[in-house]
Structure 1
Amino acid sequence: MRILTWNINGIRTIPQYHPWNTLKTQEAILDHLDADIICFQEMKTSRQNLSKDIATPESYASFFSFPAKKTGYSGVATYTRIVPCKAEEGLTGLLDIKPPLTGEERISPPASYPCHSPVETESDDDSGLDLKDLDSEGRALVLDFGMFVLINVYCPNDGTEAEDRIKYKMDFHRLLSERVKRLIELEKREVVVVGDLNACASLIDHCEGEIILKKLKLKGGGDAAVAEEAFWAEKEGRHWLREWLVEGGGPMVDVVRRQWPDRKGMFTCWNTKISARASNYGTRIDYILITAGLLPWVKAADIQPQVKGSDHCPVILDLYDELPSTEDPHTLQPTLTSNVTEVPRLSSKYWDEFSGKQRSLDTFFGQKAPMRKSANTQPSSPLSLSPSPPPSSQLSSQASSSKRKLQLSQPVPVKRKLTQSQISSSSKKAKPDPEGQRKLSSFFSKPKDPAEPIVVHDSDDNDVEDEDYRLAVKLSLSADTKTTTPSSSKSRNAWKALLAPIQPPRCLVHNEPAKELTVTKPGANKGKNFFICSRPVGPGYDKGKAERDREDVDPRYKCNFFKWSSEVKREALRKET
């Protein structure tokens, strides 16, 4: 059995990439991923915008969680070929469907939900913890497969420095670990947590790990152990994840790292805005975590960086169908929900819009009802609305004269003279009302007074004029002269340079042609073009003196060359003039 997790960065982005653009349905995409349980994060859609093809693929039971307020944001989905016995949205037990889940339909007894007892926080004060708010952004789905409880989760990122979002992130982390803790300790359940945790577990999971370690060593007196501890303490998310894993005394096993303990560059997320994926300049923030009791079933675990379609890549876990190296055979299927046939009510197949309870909009535009027959006419036999077919001898003559007959059969407009009373009445009607309809002749009347010419006054402030404008004026004045002097030849060359495409400048470090990009960020410079070094980013690439110490710069990667395209153009024109 295979479990796959993937932050897809929007359900609509996948079909834009190969091979997904060759597949016509969502079910075909899921089949191509080749997994029994598929967990998506960052769906970035809403229930209202979800098509039936995506919501209810035929061969899968599908479950969704969307943010309550913000649309096109967050959201998780789980598609599974194996029918779970129970399914819930969220981690608190406060989110519910209509009619509400019964006690038998719920995964856990009331005491196992954080909403029924306090959640442990670092300050030991959860009075300000709004559990329902933590569960309102569509970040978690919990499915019970009998052998284990699967949690598909998308943790908040720490890209913003806003204090409220940092607090929200840490509160969500603690809520997640508390839910898992109670499943393990109170219910003695095995747990699988999959998804985007938005945190690095160790230095090896960060593209800048060696540089970070070097800096932290200098601060910590050269001790590597102290430097690593400083790395985890640098961000609260890292510290939380470290303590949640067995290496930090927690209950969860990072199964992919366990399979590949010393593997470098095992990243799952890249910044596509700087083309970081091409040089594998990324981080590992997507995980499959399991409890220790499932370790004997683990056959393989890995990442799939070759799968495109998002700024993340899938992570997979393969479980044995039969437990190896045991005296008594243990097979996987009976330990799962093999006897369960009914899909839990959280499934999208029960949504009104897809279950047949709610009429779709296109039913209102279906076939028109047949026209009623007149009550007065009761024909005993069908009436023929077309003449009987002519004899075969008449077909040729009818065909030759069809055009003439068609013209004769069309009505001819007849011109009638108006009486005096009709003329007077129509002239009365033609008098325009001040606020009524204008006469047709008013659209063809000449203006009473000629428009005054617009006078443009030159500004006294010549410093405001654009440099390109002054150069163009200079070129246009020189182009008016008809004489073939050296200066006119120089002017023609300047015009050619003005109209010619920009030749990319060379970066100062590598002396290689730079690449041109366009500003897409909203602001004063949006739409402007600029040149930067064409080399890929990598560990130690030059971010500039403000962000990168000179001794940490690796010249093999992108340098900090930058120049506006307009500046490159002006320099080329100056050379011609």
Structure 2
Amino acid sequence: MKLISWNVNGLRACVNKGFKDYFATEQADIFCVQETKLQEGQIQLEYDEPYYQYWNYAQKKGYSGTAVFTKIEPLTVRYGMEEDHEPEGRMLTLEFEGFYLVNVYTPNAKRDLSRLAYRLEWEDRFRTYVQQLDTIKPVLVCGDLNVAHQEIDLKNYKGNRGNSGFTLEERGRMTDLLGAGFMDTFRTLYPDRTDVYSWWSNMPKVRERNVGWRIDYWLASARLAPQIQDARIDCHVLGSDHCPVILEINEIKV
């Protein structure tokens, strides 16, 4: 199976910058997007092959939002974490026969860290949530997790210590999540690979010089390690300030 995740930073804008061509070329079995920034009825997407579509819209217009396009019909779909709804549209959980898929857009702590306390509390609830799913069947987690976990995961780690997305607290929560029975698929396969990032700021020449951060992930239940074929980052794909991240995995059977 090929699974793709992409923070599109506004799906309508990304559609005008190559999203449809990339989607059609890759032919993913499941394609997850974050930060759709739209409301129901604001976009109509058509594909050569049929996809089931699931959307979680934020109440605030032009903000957040997630979506999943899948060739495989899920058994159940959940919109949110504890409840089947949450106002910022940050999460979708699809249950398939052999696994759960969680598409998530983790809250940003903000530049002044004014939302760090909320972010950390959200992380604790999220870890509990995916752990509970993992007791039932294996879990794949994808999305913009808004944290560079290790120094190797961003270009300028010295200058960003303590900044949003690279605080000790946020990095610690990622360590806790991985320690709860999950694996960072890319870093597991490529433990020493440098200069591979998934997000670049919009400042001039930053992307051209590859001054980036790896904050978009495919995580998996650790017991799925033998099933993982590859995890890669399509750094060359434009259309957003993030690029797609891809997981190739053997079919997960019960």
Contact 1:233 1:239 in 2 (8 A): no
Contact 2:38 2:57 in 1 (8 A): yes
Q: d(CA) in 1 for partners of 2:215 and 2:122?
A: 16
- 1:237 equivalent in structure 2: 170
Q: d(CA) in 2 for partners of 1:67 and 1:58?
A: 28
Matched residue of 1:32: which SS?
Answer: helix
Q: d(CA) in 2 for partners of 1:281 and 1:233?
A: 15
Give 2:89's match in structure 1, choosing from 114, 130, 138.
138
- In 2 relative to 1, CA 257–233 (structure 1 residues): closer, same or farther, beyond 3 Å? closer
Question: What are the Cα deviations for residues 350-370 of structure 1, in whole angstroms up to 9, with x where unaligned?
Answer: xxxxxxxxxxxxxxxxxxxxx
- In 2 relative to 1, CA 4–150 (structure 1 residues): closer, same or farther, beyond 3 Å? same
Return structure 1 stretches of 4+ with deviation > 6 angstroms.
Answer: none
- In 2 relative to 1, CA 264–29 (structure 1 residues): closer, same or farther, beyond 3 Å? closer
Contact 2:149 2:166 in 1 (8 A): no
Q: d(CA) in 1 for partners of 2:113 and 2:48?
A: 39
The amino acid across from 2:123 in the alignment is H
- In 2 relative to 1, CA 87–233 (structure 1 residues): closer, same or farther, beyond 3 Å? closer
Matched residue of 1:193: which SS?
Answer: strand
Question: What are the Cα deviations for residues 486-530 of structure 1, in whole angstroms up to 9, with x where unaligned?
Answer: xxxxxxxxxxxxxxxxxxxxxxxxxxxxxxxxxxxxxxxxxxxxx
Q: d(CA) in 2 for partners of 1:94 and 1:12?
A: 26
Report deviation, 1:158: 2.2
Q: d(CA) in 2 for partners of 1:289 and 1:63?
A: 21
Contact 1:140 1:153 in 2 (8 A): yes
- In 2 relative to 1, CA 94–80 (structure 1 residues): closer, same or farther, beyond 3 Å? closer
- 2:224 equivalent in structure 1: 294
Q: d(CA) in 2 for partners of 1:240 and 1:83?
A: 32
Q: d(CA) in 2 for partners of 1:170 and 1:48?
A: 33
Higher relative contact order (CA 8 A, sep 6+): 2
Matched, 1:314 2:244: yes
Q: d(CA) in 2 for partners of 1:298 and 1:74?
A: 29
Contact 2:33 2:67 in 1 (8 A): yes
Calculate the TM-score normalised by the size of structure 2.
0.91
Matched, 1:198 2:146: yes
- In 2 relative to 1, CA 37–233 (structure 1 residues): closer, same or farther, beyond 3 Å? closer
Question: What are the Cα deviations for residues 384-403 of structure 1, in whole angstroms up to 9, with x where unaligned?
Answer: xxxxxxxxxxxxxxxxxxxx
Corresponding pairs, count = 252
Contact 2:38 2:61 in 1 (8 A): yes
Q: d(CA) in 2 for partners of 1:162 and 1:302?
A: 30
The amino acid across from 1:64 in the alignment is W
Contact 2:144 2:215 in 1 (8 A): yes
Matched, 1:88 2:18: no
Matched residue of 2:203: which SS?
Answer: helix
Question: What are the Cα deviations for residues 317-375 of structure 1, in whole angstroms up to 9, with x where unaligned?
Answer: 1113xxxxxxxxxxx37x27xxxxxxxxxxxxxxxxxxxxxxxxxxxxxxxxxxxxxxx
- In 2 relative to 1, CA 199–42 (structure 1 residues): closer, same or farther, beyond 3 Å? same
The amino acid across from 1:41 in the alignment is Q
Give 1:152's match in structure 2, choosing from 103, 125, 136.
103
Give 1 or 2 for the bigger CA radius of gyration: 1
1:164-203 matches, within 5 Å, as 165-185=115-135, 187=136, 189-203=137-151
Structure 2 unmatched runs, 5+: none
Give 1:59's match in structure 2, choosing from 24, 44, 50.
50
Give 2:185's match in structure 1, choosing from 255, 265, 280.
255
Report deviation, 1:233: 8.7
- In 2 relative to 1, CA 58–302 (structure 1 residues): closer, same or farther, beyond 3 Å? closer
Matched residue of 2:11: which SS?
Answer: coil
- 1:340 equivalent in structure 2: none
- 1:303 equivalent in structure 2: 233
Contact 1:244 1:252 in 2 (8 A): yes
